[in-house]
Structure 1
């Protein structure tokens, strides 16, 4: 593993962040880390991890939409 943060750590930080601009940055960073992880695991994906990654991607999408469209909330 490289020196980059885990997608889980960045996901947790994004969920806790209050500043919209920083939260969006963290969402984008986490999305990239999740996509990299999915690529790494493609040949040996377990259903449990696939479901966890897909759930995190959905949650990130919701956070990003809430930032971009605050009147929807």
Structure 2
């Protein structure tokens, strides 16, 4: 499945994926989202989960978390 990605304008870590060409879902305000390139989607291992959500709901919200920093004792 080809996907389009959007980034939240109020929360830079919030993402939404939708099926390519379908546009934003009707329940979101377009001014709250900006399109991203596919390379910026940062899906990695979660693509299968995202695709299953899109198949069920037509969209998928997800967050990009900062890298975890391990503390040294």
Which structure has the highest strand share of the two?
A: 2
Q: Which has the higher helix share?
A: 1
The two structures have a TM-score, normalised by structure 2, of 0.26
Larger gyration radius, structure 1 or structure 2: 2
